[in-house]
Structure 1
């Protein structure tokens, strides 16, 4: 049984994000499987400003995309044939992952697979470090390594579906209905009408009474320390 090789599936040259595993022209197969895969993920927390607290509550702010690092090895010298092609034929496929092509105005998104597993990572090639280590007498490179760092990529629509945007510590938009005021909106969203000033400041509103129906407002996220005990966020927490 042949050893399964790690493969990099490159998105198709189409307007929408599409992948086709049967399209060999968009498939990069590792010549030798990497010895290891490194995945890094980090999130950012901000300490709530509170007086006389040794350990104030932390508020989640955002997350950084995960990164996957791996080393790929390519060798076109160790083969029985007399001709030794340039290893750059393989390296160029990786270089192309860093170039803007077609109508997308960005480098392509990739999916990584290994064996019978489901997709292990989807992202874009953030960093490529090429190192050519063996050459023929005429200068043709025949051995090289590529240190690759992929950054996680997910479409905005897909990411929003995974989030709960109903809590009061997440910024969102609000369409004004007839009869609503900034105070009534603040009371419904934050359970505290006094927070109308935050909405006014976020939207540059000088006259809180001049609020036309159909207007779209930005409802800013409130720090943890200012959330009402009965706010949507706190009501949803166990």
Structure 2
């Protein structure tokens, strides 16, 4: 994670507004994680009818992407590559700065802040904190913490207005056009547009097709909006 031999630190930017604007605070991770994990999950309906051996797995939704980071806050001043500005800062204070950035409630918005995590070319992640494990691993003789290991999970966050705009682009309430390629089936195309193949006969009718079984490659099909409450 370097640019022209300059070490780039992972940074967490926090904002009060859902669109990632407003008064910004930044937490710079003192020593970069050795690795990070991204998790993608597809939510499927796997219910089986009574007496059925197989399962007709149906797509329900995609769950928000997760990003998991593991890194260390150190108060010994001995770790190689540690952020110089924090080498003499007690680990308790470093931890408090991190919590203020990602976890503690912002009194102006009555919730934790919205986060943008940036590191190199692989991570630019808009999110909120969903889980945090804090493991104290090293102490002074008096019992004061000297090193803390953090395991943080962040959940992808998309502002409502942006999410609605994205959904609208592929909405079955809009008119769609598709050019048939070899191997396309009308029922599959209909299911892709409307999330249900039940409209296949209506699509065939509005396109003047005499059959739904074979549609010539290169044919441009028109998929109008249908009232999905009237199937």
Q: Shared fold by TM > 0.5?
A: yes
Q: Are positions 1:228 and 2:199 aligned together?
A: yes
Which residue does the alignment assign to 1:191? none
Q: Deviations over 1:155-203 (max 9, x none)?
A: 11111111222259xxxxxxxxxxxxxxxxxxxxxxxxxxxxxxxxxxx
Q: Are positions 1:91 and 2:95 aligned together?
A: yes
Query: Alpha carbons of 1:106 and 1:113: their partners in 2 closer, same or farther (altered >3 Å)?
Result: same
Query: Alpha carbons of 1:129 and 1:231: their partners in 2 closer, same or farther (altered >3 Å)?
Result: farther
Q: 1:17 aligns with which of 12, 17, 20?
A: 20
Q: CA RMSD in A?
A: 3.7
SS at match of 1:228: helix
Offset of 1:7 from its aligned partner?
0.7
Which residue does the alignment assign to 1:41? 40
Cα separation, 1, equivalents of 2:48 and 2:196: 9
**Bigger shift: residues 28-37 or 134-143:** 134-143
Offset of 1:65 from its aligned partner?
0.8
What TM-score, normalized by structure 2, do the two folds share?
0.62
Offset of 1:144 from its aligned partner?
1.1
SS at match of 1:160: helix
5+ residue gaps in structure 1?
169-221
Offset of 1:109 from its aligned partner?
1.1
Which residue does the alignment assign to 1:182? none
Q: Are positions 1:166 and 2:172 aligned together?
A: yes
Cα separation, 1, equivalents of 2:56 and 2:117: 38
Cα separation, 2, equivalents of 1:159 and 1:63: 13
Query: Alpha carbons of 1:143 and 1:123: their partners in 2 closer, same or farther (altered >3 Å)?
Result: same
What TM-score, normalized by structure 1, do the two folds share?
0.60
Which residue does the alignment assign to 2:67? 68
**Bigger shift: residues 54-63 or 139-148:** 54-63
**Bigger shift: residues 42-51 or 31-40:** 42-51
Q: Are positions 1:127 and 2:131 aligned together?
A: yes
Q: Deviations over 1:121-175 (max 9, x none)?
A: 111111111111112233321211100000111111111111222259xxxxxxx
Query: Alpha carbons of 1:142 and 1:98: their partners in 2 closer, same or farther (altered >3 Å)?
Result: same
Q: Are positions 1:105 and 2:110 aligned together?
A: yes
Offset of 1:56 from its aligned partner?
7.4
Q: Deviations over 1:26-84 (max 9, x none)?
A: 11111111011100011123369899x9877654322211111011111121259xx95
Cα separation, 1, equivalents of 2:158 and 2:17: 17
Q: Are positions 1:154 and 2:158 aligned together?
A: yes
5+ residue gaps in structure 2?
80-86, 175-193, 204-220, 224-231
Query: Alpha carbons of 1:6 and 1:85: their partners in 2 closer, same or farther (altered >3 Å)?
Result: closer
